Amino acid sequence: MRIGVTCYPTVGGSGTVATELGLEIARRGHEVHFICYALPYRLGRVPPGVTFHEVSVPTYPLFSYPPYSLALASQMADAVRTHGIELLHVHYAIPHAISAHLAREILGGGPKLIVTLHGTDITVVGADPSFLPIVRLGIERADAVTAVSRSLARETHEILGIEREIEVIPNFVDSDRCDPDFSAAYRRRLSPDGAPLLVHASNFRPVKRVLDVLEVFRQVNERLPAHLAMVGDGPERPSAERFVRDAGIAHRVEFLGNVSPVEGVMGAGDVFLLPSSEESFGLAALEAMACGVPVVASDAGGIPEAVENGRGGFTLPVGDTAAMAAAVLRLLSDPEEMARQRAFARAHAAEFGTARVVDRYEALYRRLLGA
């Protein structure tokens, strides 16, 4: 099969899933074409079965907003025509689903189209009245739509007021990316005194509630001296840095920015924190569990589908920092419970292994192409 993939190339869950899926599909002998505005951050070395098509968006004094969606549509049409791409798989509805429709208009037909919904493309941006009608169109006209959790599929039906079938294919994780030696080195750096280490990783957007991460840590650290590693970057970072200064915990908290591979730091931790207010799935939590790190998270959106309460993690009401701190303290003060939860975390993450989940995408591709 010849597959075109479009995603945001920047650090984030949808780009990770799109890239790892494309790479695995290429390993299975198919031809994969990434059509993006930059090389996806997770692509690394581009293997022989993969081609990258850069979307360049010309600027012009009239364009306060350079039309990325249109440049993408033209580039998609060109890649399809030149390479005989049979199926376009776009990740994140806005604007990728619409660009793909436009590409099909340019071609007067052409490839099948799959739209994979990742979360904020529906729950935050897509729900905005400025985008809702165009997102609805993009989703209704696709040949297949997938969502990364049952919760997101349900929300999509509710928010967009549509009835079309949405197949739920969960996110996946490769535990081979966990590297105990590398993590041990990180642990020595982040906890030189051997105290427990908590970890959070995100894009520091408001939905991640990073101040809750810090508040949970503050409460834990009051009872049991610990360290916190904050991985990632984004708009809430300045307020987070202010919080740790004001709370007098700056010497216990390290802001690492984006690190690669993220599993290096995640695997160094004792507990991973994810107290988000919106989360379609919570891939970061799954990555932590794959490295044997239990998760304390909120019960927002699809998190309970990724983190089974009591089996490798605990899900608690959004904003209940006291309950989250208590869950962390319980884990840190009971080595037997910690060992049990670490084993559960690994076993639970194994259920979301790459091969099993990619089989489902490959089957969907074959179904659409009659291959």
Using the rule CB under 6 A, give the single segment among 14-22, 106-114, 132-140, 161-169 that binds ligand GMT.
14-22
User: Smallest gap, in angstroms, from Cβ of residue 234 to ligand GMT?
Assistant: 9
Question: What are φ and ψ of residue 58, in 5° steps?
Answer: -65, 145
Cα–Cα distance for residue pair 268/172, rounded to 1 Å: 21
- Using the minimum distance from each CB to ligand GMT, give the nearer residue, 172 or 221: 172
Strands (E), 169-222: 197-202
Question: Which residues between 275 and 304 bind ligand GMT (CB under 6 A)?
Answer: 278-283
Contact flag: residue 17 with ligand GMT (CB under 6 A): yes
Spatial neighbors of 156 by CB under 8 A, at least 6 apart, are: 117, 122, 139, 145, 147, 162, 166
Among 51, 99, 203, 341, which residue interacts with ligand GMT (rule: CB under 6 A)?
Answer: 203
Residues in contact with ligand GMT, shown as a per-residue x/- string from 164 to 183 under the rule CB under 6 A: -------x------------
Among 51, 120, 298, 321, which residue interacts with ligand GMT (rule: CB under 6 A)?
Answer: 120
Using the rule CB under 6 A, give the single segment among 59-67, 116-124, 132-140, 256-264 that binds ligand GMT.
116-124
Overall residue count recorded for the chain in this entry:
371
Size of the site for ligand GMT (CB under 6 A): 19
Contact flag: residue 122 with ligand GMT (CB under 6 A): no
Apex CA 294: angle with CA 267 and CA 347, to 5°? 90
- Using the minimum distance from each CB to ligand GMT, give the nearer residue, 127 or 132: 127
Query: Which of 230, 238, 245, 209 has its CA nearest to residue 320?
Result: 209
Among 34, 92, 352, 361, which residue interacts with ligand GMT (rule: CB under 6 A)?
Answer: 92
Cα–Cα distance for residue pair 100/33, rounded to 1 Å: 14
Cα–Cα distance for residue pair 320/360, rounded to 1 Å: 36
Q: What type of residue is 355?
A: A
Count other C-beta atoms under 10 Å from residue 366's C-beta: 12
- Using the minimum distance from each CB to ligand GMT, give the nearer residue, 21 or 35: 21
Among 113, 160, 201, 207, which residue interacts with ligand GMT (rule: CB under 6 A)?
Answer: 207
User: Smallest gap, in angstroms, from Cβ of residue 256 to ligand GMT?
Assistant: 17
Strand partners, 54: 36
- Using the minimum distance from each CB to ligand GMT, give the nearer residue, 15 or 264: 15
Q: Do the Cβ atoms of 137 and 95 come closer than 8 Å? A: no
Chain residues that interact with ligand GMT, rule: CB under 6 A: 12-15, 17, 92, 118-120, 148, 171, 203, 207, 278-283
